[in-house]
């Protein structure tokens, strides 16, 4: 997703805009630009490429008000002309989202005498605002947005006036002393303030150095609540690690500890959530759950299906959010939407669709004040802290942590889990962060195997039952950051087609921790070994048999078989990271991908 920043204050705008844009580089982008009011007119500088390239061309621009943007190409190629900001007269605009009726607006504006120089939909918005501008920027923005169909988060600069608005794309206002900020994500401006106000859909903000005023689309004033962000700036920095992804993999013990903190009592065998709004006795009435998510969050949801069905005896459907709205299927009496950003467009749309069927909705997210927290009836925060790397790691782990707690909570409510078993499970859960730390201390072995197979063209990940979602996640991580073609399969499906692709040049990562299907998994490993494929097994440290059937073994600590997927997750993350590093790939900013997918 593209990045937006804005500043109005008493300091020079350019250094703040550039610094803030750099903190959004993790989102992925192909061009960048700024517009600054220099006390007489607005100066615009933009170009394709990285922010550091733009910096080289910037002259000294005095001015205390400005906007900036990093663009990920949608409408139009990545070049200087299509880069933001886009201008029309005295109006400059930066925009995230998609204007669906752009072509009709373009034709109408051309007939009115406006000329277009770019291929973007955003230029139409700049011309629209200019067309309506009559010395009141808020009025002009409202009138222009009334003509728009689609999604947007925008910052508009006219002279020294600054206006922001949103619909279906995130936008946050930062409150400072004699200065205020606009950003599409918290880390962009966290260096300058922890006081944040989150815009809701169809809201407009007028941003000045000494105040911020909020309006609805009828220009009726709105009162907004400020939130204090508990993250510190250090949490959003690399802290000595070469990449954000590696740092965030190493932060997983802490993230999981935060996920559990204050929610579980091993002594009493109880679980409590601060945002669930579902008592244990109400759980008895829930017989079907639908989990809606995309990408990594979908893989977490798929593991959640196994957990709810095994621990609580509740049937669970897991839906790809982008497909749910078109499947014509009715959801369960509880719909769980999983989105680390809380702004995933497909997940939000699917959750809203599901709510029309009645029943309850629950959001699992990492971002306070995000859209999904307002759309759902209940919300559970993952508490992972900021995640900068595009490829999700610690947020996936925290999603798993929440799902384990929920499944146990529902199991207790359904009478499927005894008090003794609950206490044992919670004790085992508490040990997982320390067990992850042990795996991280063994990363040199994982790095070795990653280097051996980093030149492969294809790699398969296989697992069964609880380990199948981790096979999917391992394959997703590898293809995201190393660009190796990777597939995750339920190992029992190998004979139904995938074996045709197995050769001596096709490494297979087999997640073979102890459990219900361990013997069957060993048979699946034998099937691929019969085709001469090299096999790396992820196995229990107490498993003395697995070495007979594979080429290499990466050990994880012994734990309850139902908890082992969390440990295997760390191994596949590190394998993916070190494979990408061996291939000299841009790990934190993989090509064509964005951290938060806010357009459908």
Q: Which residues are catalytic?
A: 2, 595
Residue 150's nearest CA partner among 173, 172, 130, 121 is: 121
Q: How far is CA 497 from CA 193, 490, 491, 493, 527, in A?
A: 55, 12, 11, 7, 13
Q: Report H helices in 483-563.
A: 518-529
Q: Is 462 left (phi over 0), alpha (psi -120 to 50) or beta?
A: beta
Are 515 and 466 spatial neighbours (Cβ–Cβ below 8 Å)?
A: yes
How far is 45 from 47, CA to CA, in rounded Å? Answer: 7
How far is 318 from 205, CA to CA, in rounded Å? Answer: 38
Are 149 and 97 spatial neighbours (Cβ–Cβ below 8 Å)?
A: no
551 three-state secondary structure:
coil
Instruction: Quote the tokens at residue 340.
Output: 């680390």
Are 143 and 150 spatial neighbours (Cβ–Cβ below 8 Å)?
A: no
**Which DSSP state fits 94?**
E
Instruction: Quote the tokens at residue 47.
Output: 């170009």
Q: Report H helices in 40-187.
A: 51-57, 102-111, 122-132, 137-146
- CA angle (444, 476, 515) in 5-degree steps: 70
How far is 394 from 300, CA to CA, in rounded Å? Answer: 12
How far is 566 from 546, CA to CA, in rounded Å? Answer: 20
Q: How far is CA 412 from CA 280, 310, 313, 422, in A?
A: 7, 12, 11, 8
Across the beta sheet with 334-338, the strand order is 315-320, 288-293, 334-338, 360-365, 378-381
Are 4 and 204 spatial neighbours (Cβ–Cβ below 8 Å)?
A: no
Indicate the Cα dihedral angle 130, 132, 137, 141, nearest 10°. -90
Are 400 and 303 spatial neighbours (Cβ–Cβ below 8 Å)?
A: yes
288 three-state secondary structure:
strand
Are 207 and 172 spatial neighbours (Cβ–Cβ below 8 Å)?
A: no
């Amino acid at each position: 997703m593209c990045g937006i920043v804005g500043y109005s204050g008493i300091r020079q705008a350019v250094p703040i805009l550039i610094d803030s844009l750099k903190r959004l580089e993790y989102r992925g982008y192909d061009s960048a630009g700024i517009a600054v009011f220099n006390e007489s007119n607005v100066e615009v500088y933009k170009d394709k490429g990285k922010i550091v390239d733009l910096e080289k061309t910037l002259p000294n621009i005095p001015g205390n008000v400005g906007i900036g943007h990093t663009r990920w190409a949608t409408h139009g190629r990545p070049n200087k002309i299509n880069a933001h900001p886009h201008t029309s007269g005295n109006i400059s605009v930066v925009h995230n989202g998609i204007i669906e009726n752009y072509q009709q607006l373009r034709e109408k504006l051309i007939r009115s005498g406006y000329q277009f120089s770019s291929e973007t939909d955003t230029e139409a918005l700049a011309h629209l605002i200019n067309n309506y501008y009559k010395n009141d920027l808020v009025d002009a923005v409202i009138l222009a947005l009334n003509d728009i169909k689609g999604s947007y988060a925008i910052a508009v600069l006219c002279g020294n006036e600054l206006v922001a608005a949103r619909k279906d794309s995130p936008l946050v206002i930062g409150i400072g002393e004699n200065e205020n900020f606009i950003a599409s994500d918290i880390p962009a401006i966290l260096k300058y303030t922890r006081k944040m106000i989150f815009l809701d859909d169809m809201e407009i903000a007028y941003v000045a150095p000494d105040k911020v005023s909020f309006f609805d689309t009828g220009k009726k004033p709105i009162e907004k609540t400020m939130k204090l962000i508990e993250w510190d700036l250090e949490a959003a920095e690399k802290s000595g690690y070469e990449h954000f992804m590696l740092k965030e993999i190493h932060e997983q013990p802490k993230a999981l500890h935060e996920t559990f903190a204050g929610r579980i009592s091993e002594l009493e065998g109880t679980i409590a959530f601060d945002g669930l709004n579902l008592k244990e006795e109400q759980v008895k009435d829930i017989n079907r759950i639908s989990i809606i998510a995309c990408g990594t969050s979908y893989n977490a949801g798929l593991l959640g299906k196994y957990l709810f069905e095994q621990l609580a005896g509740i049937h669970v459907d897991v839906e790809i959010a982008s497909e749910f709205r078109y499947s014509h299927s009715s959801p369960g009496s509880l719909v769980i939407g999983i989105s680390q950003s809380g702004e995933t467009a497909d997940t939000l749309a699917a959750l809203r669709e599901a709510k029309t069927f009645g029943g309850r909705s629950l959001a699992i997210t990492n971002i306070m004040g995000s859209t999904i927290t307002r759309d759902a009836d209940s919300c559970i925060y993952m508490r992972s802290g900021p995640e900068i790397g595009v490829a999700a790691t610690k947020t996936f782990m925290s999603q798993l942590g929440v799902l384990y707690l929920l499944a146990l909570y529902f199991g207790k409510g359904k009478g499927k889990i005894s008090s003794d078993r609950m206490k044992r499970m919670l004790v085992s859960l508490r040990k997982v962060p320390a067990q992850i730390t042990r795996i991280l201390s063994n990363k040199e072995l994982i790095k070795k195997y990653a280097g051996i197979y980093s030149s492969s063209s294809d790699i398969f990940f296989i697992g069964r039952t609880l380990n199948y979602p981790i096979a999917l996640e391992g394959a997703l991580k590898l293809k995201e950051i190393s660009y190796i073609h990777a597939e995750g399969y339920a190992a029992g499906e190998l004979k139904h087609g995938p074996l045709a692709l197995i050769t001596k040049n096709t490494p297979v990562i087999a997640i073979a921790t102890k459990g219900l299907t361990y013997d069957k998994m060993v048979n699946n490993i034998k099937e691929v070994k019969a085709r001469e494929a090299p096999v790396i097994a992820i196995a229990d440290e107490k498993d003395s048999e697995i070495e007979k059937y594979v080429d290499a073994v990466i050990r994880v600590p012994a734990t309850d078989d139902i908890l082992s997927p969390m440990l295997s997750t760390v191994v596949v993350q590190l394998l993916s990271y070190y494979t990408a590093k061996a291939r000299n790939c841009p790990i934190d900013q993989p090509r064509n991908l964005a951290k938060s997918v806010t357009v459908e």
